[in-house]
Amino acid sequence: MTILDRYLATHVTWGALLTLCVLLALFTFVALADELGDVGKGDYTVLRAFEYMLLSLPQRAFLLFPFAALVGTLVGLGTLSSSSELTVMQASGLSAARISVAVLAAGLGLAIISMLVGEFIAPLSERLAHERRSVAISSRIDVNTNYGFWVRDGSSFVNIRRALPGNHAEGVYIYEFDAEKQLRVATYARQARYEDGRWILEGIRQSDIREHRVSNREIEQAVWDAMFKPDLVDVVAVKPESLSAIGLYRYMDYLRENGLSTARFELAFWTKIVYPVATVVMIFFALPLVLGILRSAGVGQRILVGSMVGMAFHIINQISGDIGLVYGLSPFFSAVLPTLVFFAIGMMMMRKL
């Protein structure tokens, strides 16, 4: 990589990262204003709301990376264009293709950062944020990170080791007490799901405890009439979009083994894979804008155009996913279509340079 390559890549990288910081501050402020509406519920305080916003930053950053990459490239390269540095580079023999290679190298680095954040940092911080918020707001749930969460259901205490999206749970322990607060029945279920207003337990081992004996039995499947509903499980179950790609892949295997729909989770999986690629595509899309119609534009115009294109990408991405789920389209196609569309438009604009 030459000095000019590093110079261009540095401007794009710093432009994208600075833009990401600005976008995070803006979107976090808006989210915080909405979150303050829940302050006062249970033990949820303003300090807890700030903690929730802080822990949600990695997931928000992952979703904003393509947006930030687009605007950051427009601003970074636009600064070079305004100072005529980009013109001098081209006049000295640096072609548009050569500039593209240097800029896309920076995009590849940003895509790797995005992938690492989305796969390793965001899932952990988002789960912790969700759990701490749920415990503070709900008075019926207590969470222990080592042993899942606890719910009281009448005279019974329920421990759910792992809450999953879609009204599912794994590792369910039910402890039933009599009027004298003596443990009478201890039940373990490998998994549970909520269907038609009732819980279905599977892989059950149950111990019936009496004064002079304990009897054990195993049951393949049984109905559990519990008073608590899935909304209590949902408040501690992280959304599919917040899970890692590996976690989504494993959960899809579980759904397939049990004959359940995987469409929503496949869409989240492919979106998680495509988003880092979208970061590179957004940088590629910005190149013909800077080298073409926005060459002599001001910083404000570039930010405006970048914001409009970024919002368009976000909206199209959401619409594509929703339409795919409604009409049963391929989750892979729904996830990758917006990125392909913007890449195709970018290619057409590059050919006109």
Report mean pLDDT in 10-residue bins for the chain, 353 residues. 86 95 96 92 91 96 96 91 84 85 94 96 89 74 62 84 78 91 93 88 94 91 81 64 87 77 91 96 94 82 92 93 92 96 94 82
Asked if 40 and 34 touch (Cβ cutoff 8 Å), the reply is no
Nearest to 243 by CA among 207, 205, 271: 271
Burial group, residue 301, by CB count within 10 angstroms (0-12, 13-18, 19+): middle
pLDDT score, position 255: 75
pLDDT score, position 352: 83
Element (H, E) at 171: strand 168-177
pLDDT score, position 67: 96
pLDDT score, position 231: 64
Asked if 133 and 119 touch (Cβ cutoff 8 Å), the reply is no
What's the N-to-C CA distance of the chain in angstroms? 24
pLDDT score, position 177: 93
pLDDT score, position 140: 55
pLDDT score, position 234: 60
Burial group, residue 97, by CB count within 10 angstroms (0-12, 13-18, 19+): exposed
